A and B are shown apart, each in its own frame.
Chain A
Amino acid sequence: MGFLGGQRRGEGSAKRTLPCDDAGTGMAATSVTPWAEQSVLTSRRWVATMLTLAGVSLLVMIASLRFGTEEIGFADSARILFQALRYGETGIDSPGSSSVILLQVRLPRVLLGFMVGGCLAAVGVGLQALLRNPLADPYVLGISSGAALGAAVAMLVGFGKTVLALSAISLCAFLGGLLSLVVVYRIALSYGHLPVHTLLLAGVILNAIFSALIMFVTSTMNPNRSFGMMSWLMGTLTAPDYPALVVLTVYLFVGGLILFMQTRPLNILTLGEESARSLGVEVERVKKTVFFTSALLTGAVVSVSGLIGFVGMVIPHAVRMVIGPDHRLLLPASAVVGGIFLLAADTAARTLLAPAEIPVGVITALAGGPFFIYLLMSRKGGLAR
């Protein structure tokens, strides 16, 4: 039943065999550390990993600022960014210049893409730990489409004009996401220990129901609006204006922080709810916190970017294979890697068929879908449990 990623890490650490006896009786504090470092997450490894990832994400951001319909050289980008920071020059004064493209279009979109990807991956980590299912993902389980339905209904009724404002639309998206999350969890709970497949089936069915309802909502709109709706549903990042971006940043950061505060209980929860309770975890409180936060984050992300699939499943999975399952590192690392991944996917979406754009959801699904199938096939007997 050993799961996928486990093996690689297990072998890796076995090769670095540092005999346990080195630690002697393990009485002195200094002699304990060497053996523990091999098998436990240490603060040093945490800092090193996060710094590396931060560096990589910065590089990817700079690279994706360069590419697009119009290429802007690194030197130009640096100059424009420097001026903007130094003089508060936003490029509005000189329309058509590369500074408008960079500051008004590309930079906000790059930041948005990074945050959306990061949130989806963080939510994926939380759901996987809580449902004890390494294939859980807001998209696969139907939580994203629940949120999308909520947002679609809000748009139909006309609660808000723009897709971006974190107002009634986001709230409805949150409620829709929460509804489907509760349904999925009730299904998971009703059988006690649920095989991985069954939960995925529940997600498939929820997705089908919500898609049908979204289709229905869309069909009642006038053609102009329904076209915008369709492209939003496929998962598209559009450059937000800065005030909206700031609101979103604060919102997502707070949500991410709340999730991060739960990482240690989440570690324990992977043992199962009863074991976690016997180890002193207030299981109900942690569960509610993670569920609400996940639904909030999913709702916010879906209302700005539509349905972007598989980021929440693939990224935590891949990251876990490399750095191990400790959620204290897995959650922030997955968030950063998710951000990098979506940023790269969006850059590809912008440039591959330039000047036309591919919805970024198409790219993530094309990358994530096959990986998902591979995971399903490689588990075979293990999945049925």
Chain B
Amino acid sequence: MTKSTASGVTPAYKVTQLTFTYRTYRDRSRSWEPDWSLKGLTFEVGSGEIFGVVGPNGSGKTSLLKLLAKVLRPQAGRVALFGHELEGMRQDAVARTVALVPQDSQQIFPFTITETVLMGRFPHQQSRGSLGGFGWEGPEDLRLARQAMEETDIAHLAHRLISDVSGGERQRAIIARALTQEPKVLLLDEPTAFLDLNHQLEICTILRRLNEQQGLTVVLSSHDLNLVSQYCDRILLLKDGTVFRLGTPEEVIRPDVLETVYRCEVLVDRHPVSGLPRVTLPSRLAVGVAHRMER
């Protein structure tokens, strides 16, 4: 099951001493202060791996994904994408290899779903040397968009406006847009946050299938430890911007590890089918018991 990150194969990502700080203005001290940050992250994502990033709120998951997509620039450290330094790559070259599905997407202009999905073809159209203002989507672009829309179950929404559909439908449209980029690496920030059970499963199935059939590398961040445990080959657990644990679900999803990071009690047992770790929050009764025991 575990895909090798053995030497000889170029890893999808090689991250070395990555450091990033957000600065926000504080009214109280009247100065820009580092808000929260990533400090000296070093890890690798193997080619063809499904890689989960978990951690408490504010541990730096979103920043990490944006750094991997070159949307943000690190203050220090290096990111190599399939052996190429990200810093030296053109933005559209990055976009032909890496697609990012952000957590929330707002659109105030009345674009249709199809138009939004087709935007994923932009980096490829750039590489064909078309004029900035002109040029049309070719049949191949339309075919890829159509295929992505069928895969994400939004083909029936083709004519609807992206601003009019539900959060889940918008999320699936954004995933379709990312697939239309024909990426080798797909970065997803909380991909299932707005989705109901049915579509959560659907998205995970798509990711798994693309991963198995086309060798797509997937890096996803999530609060859903169970999802990460069931679908990811390896899991990176962040705490306060540093790597707390990196390994297989069995190595990371453990009661002692989670209690240290999340500072709360959890129950970890086995998934009845896969046998992988499964996380459960203590029930109301158990919380009562725990409190009583602490006293």
Contacts and interface: CB of A to CB of B under 8 A. Distances in A.
A325 B119 CA distance: 13
A36 interface: yes
Contact of A278 (B69, B106, B143, B161): B69
Contacts of B158: 20, 35, 38-39
B187 to A, nearest CB: 8
Given A26-B147, A275-B105, A32 B142 contact: yes
A118 B141 CA distance: 32
Contacts of B113: 39
Interface stretch (A61-69, A178-186, A213-221, A264-272): A264-272
Given A277-B71, A278-B99, A325-B111, A263 B92 contact: no
B95 interface: yes
A374 B51 CA distance: 50
A38 B159 contact: yes
A10 B120 contact: no
A13 B112 contact: yes
Contacts of A42: 136
B35 interface: no
Contact of B110 (A5, A38, A129, A262): A5
A264 B133 contact: yes
Contacts of B105: 271-272, 275
Contacts of B95: 278-280
The size bracket of the interface on A is: 35 or more
A40 B135 CA distance: 13
Interface string A122-135: 00000001001110
A29 interface: yes
Interface stretch (B4-12, B121-129, B245-253): B121-129
A33 B123 contact: no
Contacts of B133: 260-264, 328, 331
Nearest to B25: A190
A89 interface: no
A260 B131 CA distance: 10
B172 interface: no
Given A2-B163, A32-B143, A40 B137 contact: yes
Given A26-B147, A264-B135, A271-B107, A281 B159 contact: no
Max chain A C-beta neighbours (<10 A), residue from B113, B132, B134, B140: B132
The size bracket of the interface on B is: 35 or more
Contact of A6 (B90, B119, B131, B163): B163
B136 A320 contact: no
Contact of A328 (B72, B134, B159): B134
Contacts of A267: 111, 115, 119
Interface in A1-56: 1-3, 5-7, 9-10, 13-14, 16-17, 20, 23, 25-27, 29, 32-33, 35-36, 38-43
A326 interface: yes
B26 to A, nearest CB: 14
Interface of A is mostly: helix
A124 B67 CA distance: 33
Contacts of A326: 111, 115
Nearest to A286: B132
A6 B102 contact: no
Contact of A2 (B100, B102, B143, B161): B161
B120 A279 contact: yes
A299 interface: no
Contact of A33 (B111, B112, B142): B142
Given A6-B164, A40-B112, A40-B118, 15 more contacts: A1-B108, A1-B163, A2-B164, A9-B161, A10-B160, A32-B142, A38-B158, A39-B113, A40-B114, A133-B108, A267-B115, A280-B92, A280-B123, A281-B92, A325-B111
- A-B pairs with lowest CB-CB distance, top 6: A6-B110, A280-B95, A280-B123, A280-B92, A29-B139, A26-B146
9 contacts: A10-B161, A13-B159, A20-B156, A39-B115, A40-B112, A264-B132, A272-B105, A275-B100, A326-B115
Interface of B: 66, 69-72, 90-96, 98-100, 102, 105-116, 118-120, 122-123, 125-126, 131-137, 139-140, 142-143, 146-147, 150, 155-156, 158-161, 163-164, 181
Interface of A: 1-3, 5-7, 9-10, 13-14, 16-17, 20, 23, 25-27, 29, 32-33, 35-36, 38-43, 129, 132-134, 193, 260-265, 267-268, 270-272, 274-275, 277-282, 320, 324-326, 328, 331
